[in-house]
Amino acid sequence: MTQCCGKIPVPDDALEIKKSAEAYGRKFQGDIGESDAAHIAVHELGLNGEFFDPKHTGLDSVYRDDKGTLVLLESKFSLAGRLETTKHGKQGSVEWVKHKAEQMIDPTSSLYSPDNAKIGEEILRVGPERVHYVKVHRHPETLELRVDWVR
């Protein structure tokens, strides 16, 4: 997402974010939610960003906590904010994370890139059950923010 003046949206910008999302649609709304979640991850949760190539992987972003543990972050800027159920399990589940990691290391997969392969290999090496998964949800009408450590 292009950031005006290099500024990542902060909670004070939420009303303008809501207006923009209404005007420009779901893709823009998703981009705003991801930027909002990135700000929260770094400035409120103390996470450090990990280089990652999203490539429509289903993973919004990847961080590390202060112990070096991978933290997969899902951002939601929607009414319900629920994690979706897929044929490979619910978003954030051990099965779902394992499937995504396997795709990220497969050179024939559209999710593959050298950077993603490093993340995927680490997930499989340490075990997907040892990777944290966090959902950051902002409700577009009330602008309420909720951070859930799924695991």
Compute mean pLDDT per 10 residues along the chain, 151 residues long, and list them. 50 65 58 79 93 80 96 89 91 96 95 94 98 92 89 88
Asked whether the beta carbons of 89 and 33 are under 8 A apart, the reply is no
For the residues of 77-130, what is the DSSP string, one character each? ESSS-PPPEETTEETTSHHHHHHHHHHHH-TTSTT--HHHHHHHHHHHHH-GGG
Bridge partner residues of 86 (DSSP): 89
pLDDT of residue 1: 39
Say what the pLDDT of residue 4 is: 44
